[in-house]
Amino acid sequence: MKIKSICCLGAGYVGGPTMAMIAAKCPKIKVTVCDMNQQRIDAWNSGDLPVYEPGLDAVVTSARGRNLHFTTDIRASIAAADLIFVCVGTPTKSYGIGAGRAADLRYIESAARLIAEVSTGHKIIVEKSTIPVKTASAIKTIIAANSTSGATFEVLSNPEFLAEGTAIADLENPDRILIGGETTESGNAAVEALVSVYAHWVPRDHIITTNLWSSELSKLVANAFLAQRISSINSISALCEATGADVDEVARAIGMDSRIGPKFLKSSVGFGGSCFQKDILNLVYLCESFGLPKVAEYWHQVVQINDWQKSRFVEKIVRTLFNTVNGKRIAILGFAFKKDTNDTRESPSIQVCRDLLREHAHLAIYDPQVDPETIRRDLADSHIPAALIASNVEIHTDPYAALKDAHALAALTEWDEFRDLDFARIHDLMLKPAFVFDGRAILPAATLKARGFDAFIIGKGA
Ligand code: UDX
Ligand code: UDX
């Protein structure tokens, strides 16, 4: 089977960039990206894309209008496609059974029902959203029960491993493409059809095929292992601070052991992003459901250390500022969950800022890409009065304006531009003693010291 027309449900951080890359690399395949959010689709069709991602503009403009289209006409797009990627959100359930851990699959289910309703002929459905193991069989059951036209379906799992901020490089040159399918004749044919899409630009030996359940589970496990490395080094950061060791030196020393490797050992105020916490909680819930409480507990610790790291950072600020931040101006540099993205989902900045607000601090926030509306929406919390947020949060478009008359600077995202700030000027602008809390260990430590700052750097002993 040769794929001529692809449709993608969900024009988010995953669906948008991934489909743009497929369209750019496969000019003969028509790629239509759909979303129920009209504003999002309008943005994808404009010069101001909804996702900030280095290199994305060029990829989108190379194919948009040629074989790449963005639309809210979901039904027509499904009907016209041979292959349908499902990239809708799968947030953590906030209610009922499994609340706080299980994945909320309502968008996946409604996508499956819609596909069944409008499809004719043969369709390949590809799960790209991260989902619990066995979701493919749920999708199949829903479709089989709802399809009236005699259409036939294959369901594949093809998890996306791109990281935000480096999505284009990751898509262009992936470590691997993983495709899971049923080991039947028609399952194998569907897997081969999807392999041939990626084979336009990915070497064959980087495309691996497995059974459905291995593929679904591998995505959760990959994210759990990556996050585990960060929680491991973050737990050691506390010990470094207590002993006078330097966590970057420790990371370098252990990372040169080729069995350990150097990546993902950067200590931080905590990991964020839409995937790590959600996927680990999902894994924990799966383990519990399968009667494996010890395994669940083991992985849950990765999230617990991450929460502890964020609280520890706030406690350090409050303690250092003479046990009170009430009414004190604290400049927050960085709100995105990592550099080179405008995404703030599960960003450690959210918890740090909320905790500081609960202490009645005055926050002056600067981030180069996140829009003020998103910051205000993220900070809203049922435990913090809206009036406190209105009176105690300022959002700036210039870091120096945020730092004027501040008691402290807290760096929470590793944006490159923060390293190059004029620290002499900042020292002049701030109240004295001028405190710096570097939650990413990125600011130039020697310069801070030379300029007379009182600096705390995560994972660095005194
Ligand atoms: C999402 C999931 O969070 C992640 O687990 C999964 O691996 C891929 O999909 P992301 O693309 O970052 O990741 O999410 P988001 O930016 O929220 O995009 C999802 C899009 O789907 C939104 O634009 C939303 O409007 C759209 N959507 C959602 C639909 O079009 N229809 C629906 O029924 C639900
Ligand atoms: C992650 C996975 O890397 C990707 O493969 C998967 O598809 C989705 O989830 P993403 O969340 O976009 O990608 O970004 P990632 O680069 O993994 O960073 C996640 C968080 O960990 C960020 O807050 C980042 O700042 C933090 N981090 C990362 C550290 O604190 N230390 C590190 O050494 C690496």
CA of 271 to the centre of ligand 2 (A): 7
Candidates 138, 50, 44, 47; CA nearest to 86 is 138
Indicate the SS3 state at residue 454.
strand
What 3 state SS string does 156-180 have?
A: EECCCCCCCCCHHHHHHCCCCEEEE
Starting from the CA of residue 128, give the closest ligand.
1
Longest Cα–Cα distance in the chain = 75
74 close to 36: Cβ distance less than 8 angstroms: yes
- pLDDT, residue 287, reads 96
Tokens of 379: 């900070």
Nearest CA to ligand 2 atom 5: 161
Convert 411-422 into a string of H (helix), E (strand) and C (coil). Answer: ECCCCHHHCCCC
Question: Exposed (0-12), middle (13-18) or buried (19+): which is 438, by Cβ within 10 Å?
Answer: buried
- The answer to whether the beta carbons of residues 155 and 183 sit under 8 Å apart is no
Probe target for ligand 2 pocket from 232, 276, 310, 343, with the most ligand atoms within 8 Å of CB: 276
* C-alpha to C-alpha distance for 208 and 61, rounded to whole angstroms: 30
- Judged against a pLDDT cut of 90, whether residue 147 lies above it is answered with no
Enclosing H/E stretch for 75: helix 74-80
Q: For 165-189, what is each residue's pLDDT tens digit?
A: 999 999 999 999 999 999 999 999 9
Helix 293-320 crosses helix 212-243 at what angle (to 10 degrees)? 40
Mean pLDDT over residues 28-36, rounded? 98
Distance (Å, whole) CA 160 – CA 458: 31
Task: Look up 7 and say whether it is catalytic.
Answer: no
Ligand 2 neighbourhood includes 234 CB (under 6 angstroms): no
Q: Whose CA is nearest to atom 25 of ligand 1?
A: 37
> 264 CB under 6 A from ligand 2?
yes
Local confidence band at 42 (pLDDT 50, 70, 90 cut-offs): very high
| Residue whose pair of structure tokens reads 């009176």 in the numeric block | 391
Confidence band of 462 (pLDDT split at 50, 70, 90): confident
Tell me, what's the pLDDT at 316?
Answer: 98
pLDDT at 83 over 90: yes
In eight-state DSSP terms, residue 434 is P
Main-chain dihedrals φ then ψ at residue 356, nearest 5 degrees: -70, -35
Question: Cα separation of 275 and 271, whole Å?
Answer: 10
Q: Determine the average pLDDT of the residues in 192-206.
A: 98
Residue nearest ligand 1's atom 33 by CA: 107
d(CA 370, CA 397) in angstroms, rounded, equals 10
Mean pLDDT value of segment 28-57? 97
What's the mean per-residue pLDDT of the chain? 96
Residue 203 CB contacts under 8 Å (≥ 6 apart), including other chains: none
Give yes or no for residue 361 having a pLDDT over 80. Answer: yes
Which atom of ligand 2 lies closest to the CA of 264?
A: 33
Cβ–Cβ < 8 Å for 234, 309: yes
351 lines ligand 2 (CB under 6 A): no
Average pLDDT over residues 134-149: 88
In angstroms, rounded to a whole number, what is the distance separating the alpha carbons of residues 421 and 367? 13
Confidence class for position 343, pLDDT limits 50, 70, 90: very high
Pocket test for ligand 1, best of 9, 37, 88 (most atoms within 8 A of CB): 88
Of all ligands present, the nearest one to the C-alpha of 103 is: 1
Residue linked to tokens 């001028």: 434
As a dihedral over the C-alpha atoms of residue 360, residue 276, residue 98, residue 180, rounded to 10 degrees, the angle is: 160
List the helix and strand counts (H, then E) for the chain: 18, 14
- Ligand 1 center to residue 52 CA distance, Å? 16
CB of 276 closer than 6 angstroms to any ligand 1 atom: no
Residue 70 parent element (H or E): strand 68-71
370, two tokens: 């996140």
* Distance from the alpha carbon of residue 340 to the mean position of ligand 2, in angstroms: 12
pLDDT tens track for 389-448: 999 999 999 999 999 999 999 999 999 999 999 999 999 999 999 999 999 999 999 999
pTM across the whole model:
0.95
* Residue to probe by mutation, ligand 1, list 274, 283, 338, 343, most atoms within 8 Å of CB: 274
Q: Ligand 2, residue 159: give the atom nearest the CA.
A: 7
| Residue 193 scores a pLDDT above 80 | yes
Minimum CA distance residue for ligand 2 atom 10: 163
Q: Is the pLDDT of residue 302 over 80?
A: yes
pLDDT computed for residue 308 by the predictor: 98
Cis upstream peptide for 444 (omega within 30°): no
The active-site residue out of 7, 34, 87, 275 is 275
